[in-house]
Amino acid sequence: MKLHSTNKIYEQLLEVYMESSPSKRTVEFWAGELTRGRTRLEDVPREGRPKPATTAEIIEQVHNIVSEDPILLSVKLLMP
Q: List pLDDT tens digits, range 15-73.
A: 999 999 999 999 999 999 989 999 888 877 778 867 677 788 888 888 888 788 777 66
Q: How far apart are CA 25 and CA 10, in angstroms?
A: 9
Q: How far apart are CA 45 and CA 54, in angstroms?
A: 16
Q: How far is CA 48 from CA 9, 45, 51, in A?
A: 35, 9, 9
Give residue 80's pLDDT band: very low, low, confident or very high (50, 70, 90).
Answer: low
DSSP label at residue 19 = G
Q: How far apart are CA 48 and CA 44, in angstroms?
A: 12
Give residue 2's pLDDT band: very low, low, confident or very high (50, 70, 90).
Answer: low
pTM to 2 decimal places: 0.51
What's the half-sphere exposure (Cβ side, CA atoms, 13 Å) at 50?
4
